[in-house]
Structure 1
Amino acid sequence: MGYRKTILANEQIYHIYNRGVARQNIFKEARDYLRLVELLDYYRFKKPPLRFSHFKRLNSVQKKEFWDKFMEKSQPLVEILSFCFMPNHIHLLLKQVKEKGISIFMANTLNSFSRYFNTSHRRVGPLFQANFKAVRIESDEQLVHVNRYIHLNPVTSYLVEFKKLGDYRWSSLPHFLGLCSTGFIASSYILSHFKSGEGYRKFLLDQVDYQRKLQEIKHLIFDK
């Protein structure tokens, strides 16, 4: 494992990025995307007493009892401000809450997903690049623009048309637009910079401003 230049400090927000080995796809079907969404929610807490694969085997009553007893009282490692999953890479905006929280969260989440993916698709070997990339967000202005960059990824990568971006399920954008509720997304701070949900939507769709600001935040984003 290589040396990480970026220091991951408590109460700081980071743009996190990782992609498949040799740029290979890390998702093959809808259930793969859904699994990683579930893992984000599960491993944001410190030391879950069960592996997620074991948690999945519980019946609905047992899951609720487990969640109420352990998870709701557990300390979070990170706050997840936003995310977007693409066929061969992922983006996250994370705030570190506990010491080494981001590193522990990423290791638990990606290791669990890799085991699931390899078992499900009869595959062996690493799925992700060895080290995830991280860059610290230094201002509120950077925060809102990097968040927009993350949410626009499906459009800029030609996966969906602009008008259908809100229908892209593997992103926190539907939550930001009020189209659904994703309980683990801590969106309130970013949305507080806008007068309304409609204000955020207009900001998202402002192509001229987006292209201009892209140059200003290029040191905060990553090549695919």
Structure 2
Amino acid sequence: MKFETHSVYHIYNRGNNSQKIFFTEANYLFFLDKIRKELIPHGDILCYCLMPNHFHLMILTPEDFKSYDLNNAIGILLRSYTRAINLQEGRSGSLFQQKTKAKELIDKNNNNAVNYLATCAHYIHLNPVRAGLAEHLNQWRFSSYLDLAGLRNGTLCNKELFFMLSGIRKDEFIKESEAMLDFKRMSFK
């Protein structure tokens, strides 16, 4: 993956053959701790969601970073987590799909693209509802929705930076999240 300086990326990967990657609550917490140790030195986490068989991260790259360092950090995160799960589950081999995907969310030539940050965050946070793991966004502990909505005081995400870059206020974010949740519920019927 080639990362540009001072840009926002939606980074995601899933288990091989869509298999589970998180087996216990401790696995989710361990992965979040690994994100803090491996990725935060290379960028700001703006939002995230961990699902039983995949994960989503939104990250802002700083002005003074090297693309190689972030790629290397993602590799270390996934390899070290895989080693721990393989030991825990008595398995071997790759846990994640070979290629982690990253989509740049800010088109530097299009000012309207910045608003896509909030839309992407809603998409990321709606994953547990779409999968039937939660009825409401505030019921899934392993996402940053609780932090961005002011319902938890987590420190993994840079909340202020998320709201500044997305161009919306916290109350607008909550209203938009609720509206998208209502829309998704209507779509399931």
TM more than 0.5: yes
Deviation at 1:81, TM superposition (A): 0.7
CA distance in 2, matches of 1:79, 1:210: 30
- For 1:206, what is the secondary structure of its paired residue? helix
Deviation at 1:167, TM superposition (A): 2.7
Deviations 1:111-154 (A, max 9, x none): 11111111111111100011101111022111110011001111
Q: Spell out the pairing of 1:1-224 with structure 2 (5 A cutoff).
A: 4=1, 7-45=2-40, 76-97=41-62, 98-100=65-67, 101-138=69-106, 139-162=113-136, 165-192=137-164, 193-195=167-169, 197-207=170-180
Q: Is the 8 A contact 1:83 1:90 kept in 2?
A: yes
Instruction: Report the TM-score, using the length of structure 1 for normalisation.
Output: 0.72
Q: Which runs of 5+ in 1 are unaligned?
A: 46-75, 212-224
Q: Which amino acid aligns with 2:45?
A: I
Deviation at 1:198, TM superposition (A): 2.8
Q: Percent identity?
A: 29
Q: Is the 8 A contact 2:44 2:60 kept in 1?
A: yes
Question: 4+ residue stretches of structure 1 with deviation over 4 A?
Answer: 208-211
CA distance in 1, matches of 2:151, 2:116: 25
Deviations 1:178-219 (A, max 9, x none): 122221311213324333x332211101138967xxxxxxxx
Q: Which amino acid aligns with 2:149?
A: L
Q: Which runs of 5+ in 2 are unaligned?
A: 107-112, 185-189
Question: Once superposed, what is the RMSD of the aligned Cα atoms?
Answer: 1.8
Instruction: Report the TM-score, using the length of structure 2 for normalisation.
Output: 0.84
Q: Is the 8 A contact 1:78 1:105 kept in 2?
A: no
